[in-house]
Copies of this chain bind each other. A is one copy, B any other.
Amino acid sequence: MFRTPVEMEEVQAAALRIRPFVHATPVLTSTSLDAIAGRQLFFKAENLQKTGSFKARGACNAVLLEKERNPESVGVVTHSSGNHAQALAYAAKCVKLPCTVVVPRGTPKVKCEAIRRLGADLVFCHPTPHSRVDTCASIAEETGKTIIHSSDNYDVMAGQGTIALELLEEVPDLDAIVVATGGGGMLAGVSAVAQNIQPKCQVYAVEPVGKDLQRCLKAKQRLWPEPSTFLHTVADAIRLRAIGHLAFPIICKYASPRVFTVTDHQMIEGMKFAFVHMKQVVEAAAGAGVYAGVKLMGEVAPAAHKVGVILCGGNVDLDNLPWVTPLTTY
Task: Tell whether, in the assembled complex, residue B314 and residue A323 are in contact, meaning their CB atoms are under 8 Å apart.
Answer: no
Contacts of A149 in B (CB 8 A): none
Task: Tell whether, in the assembled complex, residue A318 and residue B47 are in contact, meaning their CB atoms are under 8 Å apart.
Answer: no
Checking B48, B272, B282, B319 against A318 with a beta-carbon cut-off of 8 angstroms, the contacting residue is B272
Checking B52, B279, B280 against A52 with a beta-carbon cut-off of 8 angstroms, the contacting residue is B279
Contacts of A323 in B (CB 8 A): 318-319
Contacts of A47 in B (CB 8 A): 279
Bound-state CA distance A279–B52 (Å) is 8
CB-based nearest B residue for A316: B275
Kindly state whether residue A171 has any CB partner on chain B within 8 Å.
Answer: no
Kindly state whether residue A303 has any CB partner on chain B within 8 Å.
Answer: no
Bound-state CA distance A252–B279 (Å) is 33
Interface residues of A in 125-180 (CB under 8 A from B): none
Contacts of A1 in B (CB 8 A): none
Per-residue 0/1 for A251-285: is the Cβ within 8 Å of any B Cβ (1 yes, 0 no)? 00000000000000000000010011011111000
Kindly state whether residue A324 has any CB partner on chain B within 8 Å.
Answer: yes
Contacts of A281 in B (CB 8 A): 275-276, 279-281
Bound-state CA distance A26–B280 (Å) is 13
**Chain A: interface size category:** 10 to 19
Bound-state CA distance A324–B316 (Å) is 14
A-B contact pairs, 10 of them (CB 8 A): A47-B279, A48-B279, A272-B318, A276-B281, A279-B281, A281-B281, A318-B321, A318-B323, A319-B323, A324-B324
Determine how close the nearest CB of chain B comes to the CB of A86; give it in whole angstroms: 12
**Interface residues in chain A, defined as those with a beta carbon under 8 Å from any beta carbon in chain B:** 26, 47-48, 52, 272, 275-276, 278-282, 314, 318-319, 321, 323-324
Contacts of A272 in B (CB 8 A): 318
Contacts of A279 in B (CB 8 A): 47-48, 52, 280-282, 314
Contacts of A319 in B (CB 8 A): 323-324
Contacts of A321 in B (CB 8 A): 318, 321, 324
CB-based nearest B residue for A317: B276
CB-based nearest B residue for A324: B324
Bound-state CA distance A282–B276 (Å) is 10
Determine how close the nearest CB of chain B comes to the CB of A330; give it in whole angstroms: 18
CB-based nearest B residue for A314: B279
Contacts of A280 in B (CB 8 A): 279-281
Bound-state CA distance A324–B324 (Å) is 8
Bound-state CA distance A160–B314 (Å) is 30
- 9 shortest interchain CB distances as A-B pairs: A279-B314, A279-B281, A47-B279, A275-B281, A324-B324, A275-B318, A48-B279, A281-B281, A272-B318
Determine how close the nearest CB of chain B comes to the CB of A62; give it in whole angstroms: 22
CB-based nearest B residue for A276: B318
Determine how close the nearest CB of chain B comes to the CB of A21; give it in whole angstroms: 12
Contacts of A278 in B (CB 8 A): 48
Determine how close the nearest CB of chain B comes to the CB of A46; give it in whole angstroms: 10
